[in-house]
Each structure stands twice: as C-alpha cells, then as structure tokens.
Structure 1
Amino acid sequence: MHELPLVIFTVLSQLAVGGIVTLWWMDWKNTIQWKTGLLISLSLVVIGGVAVLVSMFHLGHPFAAYRAILNIKVSWLSREVTFYGAFVGLSLLYTWFWFKDVSTWRGISGAIAAILGGIAIFSSAKIYMIPVIPAWNGMTTMMMFFLTSILLGPLFVGLFLLIRGELSMKITTFVLFGFIAAAIVMLLYFSGLQGGLPQAGESLRLMTGQFIFWLRLFTFVIAFAILAINSIGKQKQTGITYSVVFLLLLISEFLARFQFYETAVHL
C-alpha cells in the first residue's frame, strides 16, 4: 500500500489532463454552453489539485517537494513535477477565463494547459521505463498512461454533459474507440511480459494470481459492454448508465495502476 499515493496521483492527474483536452476541444468547436464548461473546468482543477497534493504523501518530506524541480535538466521526475504543477496552474487560469467568459484567452490558456498536460504524462511514463524493471521498460507503459487520460477524461466530461442534457454522441464514439485501443494495448502488454525476461514473466504470474486482476478485467469489459450496447442500440443515454460506466472504468484503472506498482519485479 506504500504506492497508493502514486496510484491516486497518476490516475487522477491523467483524468484531469484528458478532461481539460476534451473541454478545450469542445469549446473550440463551440459545442458546449458557458455554464457547463465552467462547472467542468472547476471540477477538473479540483481533481488535478487533489492529485498533486496526494502525490506529496509519497515523499519522505512532503513540504520539500518544490526542490524536485531543481533537476529538470536531467531528471524525468523533476520534469513530471514541473509540468504537472504548470498544468494545474494553467488549468486554474483556464477556469478563470471561463468564469470571465473571455473566449480568446480561454482558448489560448486551454491549449497551453493541454500541451503541458501531455508533456507531464509523457514525463511520468518515462520515469518508469527503466531496464531494471522489465515489466515497465516498454512503450506499453507510455500507451497505458495516455490511454487512462483518453478514456477517463472524455467520459468524465460526457457524464457532466449528459446530466445537463448536452451530451454529444461523438464523445461516446470516441470513448468506445478508446476502449478498443486499451484492450489491444493490454494484450500487447501481457504478451510482452510472457515473452520477455524471466522477471517480466514473474510480474505477469504475480499479476494474474491476484483477485484484483480478474476484477479489473471484469469491470473493464462490463463498462465497455454497457456503453457499446447503448450506443449500437441507439438507446437514449441516461445519467445512471454513464455514471455506472465511468465508475466501473475508474475502478478498473485504479486496480490496473495498483498492480502496475505492486507486481513490478526488479532484475
């Protein structure tokens, strides 16, 4: 459970980045109302802020976390801290421009926040892509981190839009493709572990030997099935349906990230 702060931080911060990118894109396309955009932006700033605060509990000296930025030239950890901090700051500014309803500056600040968020996720993934832990040292780690953002962010925004009666089917379709991409990456990850170094195979054995692995797969499949059936059948999306899908996927991502840390085997 020592890695729990990192689990919470990575999942929530990636959700926030995906949400900001989705909101910015919808605002750019002029497909979202002002009040709804403001509420979503506020919510994502809170989520991003909570993620950063929780991450500090992983440090031996949380109040000295600011020192992490001092090695930005050589350390991916320093870059992660710097860019996530900048992302939260720009997200706050983005929310301010939503509040003031200044569309031009809102678009600029949102675009910068989205870029910073993407760099932050990239930096976060690079921390773990190290040869000493074979289960982490591959592009699937990068893909999984970005897919968490791609799945949870739009789904979170979609839930808000649905509650306010503004949901676009484009978000549902995008999330469904995200599910398919995540399933493919999952298979690539498992096959890579199986055919990799002995330590990678041991990580896979530890992973599949835990109940939460199967619970993770179950929640992922059920979330996809519910969304796909409702979409293909062209049934009216409801707040309950979207809420269940979001909750199941959030649980799935938390369990997957927990196992990512807990089943890592060193060389």
Structure 2
Amino acid sequence: MASTEWPLIIFTILTQMAVGTYIVLVILRSLLSKKIDPQTAVKLTNFGLLAVGPIMAISLLISLFHLGSPAIAFYSIANLGSSWLSREIFFSGVFFFLWIITYYFNSKNKSGNALNWITAIIGLLAIFSMSSIYSSSIMPAWMAADTFISFFGTTFVLGMIASAATIGFSAKGEKLQEATVSLLQRISLLTLAVIVLQLIFLPQYLSGLSGGGQAGQTSAQLLSATYSFPMILHWLLTVVGAALVTYVLYKKGPEKLMTLPASTIYLAFIIVLVGEFVGRYLFYAIAVPISFG
C-alpha cells in the first residue's frame, strides 16, 4: 500500500467517527430529554457534541495532504454535478460548518431538533458520497456493496462506542439514572448487531472477489494469504471492544442507579478504533485495479 493512502485512511475514519458520534448523541439527547430532565440530557451529551468539531477539523486538514493544497480542494467542489469527490468535499465541509452553528445555538439553548437533524443528514450524505467514490472506481475490492456496508458500519460502530465514552467522561463518576443506562445498553446491543451484519456479508464479499476477474481474484488472494492476520485482527478487535462495552453495561447490581465504568469504556473505544484502522488499512492494501496484469 502506498504511503500516500495514510491521509485517506485517517480522513475517512475520523470523518465517519465524527458523523456517527454526532448522530448518536443527537438521538440520545432527544430521547433522554423525554425520559429525564433536559438539563441532564444536555450535560451528558454536550462534551461529545463539542468533540465532534475538532475531530472533523483535523479530518478536513489531513485530507488536504492527499489533495495537495487547499486550492485543489476549492476547485474540486466545482464538479458537484458529476463528481462524487466534489460532493464528498462539499458535504464534509457543510457538515463542519453546520456543526459550528448547531453547537453555538445548543450552547445558548436556542437550537431546535430540526437544525440538529439537518446537520445529521448532511453528515450521512458526506459518508454516502465518500462510499460512492470508491464503489465507482476500477478496483473490484471497492466496487461491491461491501464498501457502503463497511463505511456506514464504521460510522455507526465508532459513533456508538465514542458516544458511550464521552457520556462516561461527562458523568464524572456520578450515578446515572435507569433510563440513561437502559439507552446505553440498547446502543451497545445495536453496535454488536451492526458488526454481526457486516460479518454476515463478509463471506459473500469474499466469494464475489474470488469469482470475479483477475484483479478481484488477486484481491481475494491477498486477503486469504498476505493479509489474513490483519483481517482476523480487525474483526477480533472490533468484536472484543464492542462486547466489552456491552458486558460492563449489563454487569450491574439490583440498584436502579449505575456508575458508568468510564475507564473500561475508554479502553473498549481504543480497541475498536485500532480495529477500524486495521480494517481501513486492509481496504486500501487489497485494492487491485481491473487493468492489473
């Protein structure tokens, strides 16, 4: 894999994590505001929503290392009607811009759900555009629906784990109400479900590569031989991290209040993040163009 792909690896992972975290926290804030007092809901989600901005800013800055210069990024937007790359840059930039607006109004308690949801939708459009860039390439390893499954899977898995970690940080060791713990438990189960869904599609993806042309077969051979260990490591870390969060959330006493084991959730987040970086490294490492050979 070329060293020039590292900015793309970091950009795609951080953007997906930022969008996923924003969406999950907006949902959590909305639900918690109906189950507990709105001020507590804001307190628990505020830090996570704040963190989305710096993560997205770093992601956009790193993307410039791949494009070469800000001027190239600016001119790329001119092809919105025909280029998925232009749409990716546009929607990523708009998502960051809307985050600035929504966070400002949220801090003043003046933002309604409509603005939050518009920002979330723009974020999803950024991920869709990002996925479409690769699925419309000449790389069989990227042309399958698995690219969308992988990118959106990473968006929600990292988003859900990061949301739990930021809530743990915001709680500062205080006991959480039963409604909050219940929502986090459901999120942890949903995280596992998203991972299982990706694993269900994995055999079909590998079979499609093996039954394709020479480029696809070469990608399949790379996965089964050269990169078999990183592939196993990717899924092992992702599953272990997500399972760890689920375990600690369900391992509680009979009391209705629960102190979130933040340090364990931080560890789980790091494990999943490393696993996703390994998976994204594989995504670029096995890409073989159709013209190969």
TM-score normalised to the size of structure 2? 0.83
Structure 1 segments, 4+ long, off by >6 Å, are: none
Q: After superposition, give the CA deviation of every residue in 1:18-37 in whole Å (9 maximum; x if it has no partner).
A: 11111111222216522332
- State the partner residue of 2:73: 65
Aligned residue in 2 for 1:124: 130
Alpha-carbon separation, structure 2, partners of 1:233 and 1:40: 24
Residues 1:147 and 2:157 aligned together: no
The answer as to 2:248 corresponding to 1:246 is no
Shift of 1:172: 1.6
User: After the TM superposition, which residues 2-81 of structure 1 pair with which residues of structure 2 at under 5 Å, given as runs?
Assistant: 2-29=4-31, 30=33, 33-81=41-89
Larger Rg: 2
Alignment partner of 1:3: what SS? helix
Alpha-carbon spacing, 1:133–1:22, altered in 2? closer, same or farther (3 Å):
same
Q: Which residue of 221, 243, 246 corresponds with 2:239?
A: 221
Please give the residue correspondences for 1:91-240 in structure 2 after superposition, counting only pairs within 5 Å: 91-104=99-112, 107-130=113-136, 132-163=138-169, 164=171, 165=174, 166=176, 167=181, 168-208=184-224, 209-210=226-227, 211-230=229-248, 238-240=261-263
SS at match of 1:196: coil
When structure 1 is superposed on structure 2, of 198-207 and 64-73 the one drifting more is: 198-207
Rounded to whole Å, the distance in 1 between the matches of 2:234 and 2:100 is 33
- Tell me the SS of whatever aligns to 2:140: coil
Letter in 1 for 2:197: A
> Is the CA contact (8 Å cut-off) linking 2:185 and 2:246 kept in structure 1?
no
Number of matched pairs: 265
CA distance in 2, matches of 1:255, 1:175: 18
Shift, 1:195, TM fit? 2.7
Shift of 1:115: 0.6
- What percent of counterpart residues are identical? 31
Which residue of 2 is the match for residue 262 of structure 1?
A: 285
Aligned equivalents of 1:261, 1:156: Cα separation in 2: 24
- Give the residue type in structure 1 aligned to 2:283: F
The CA RMSD over aligned residues, in Å, is: 2.1
3-state SS of paired residue (1:266) = coil
8 Å Cα contact 1:206-1:263 kept in structure 2 = yes
- State the secondary structure of the residue aligned to 2:82: coil
1:175 is displaced (CA, Å) by 1.4
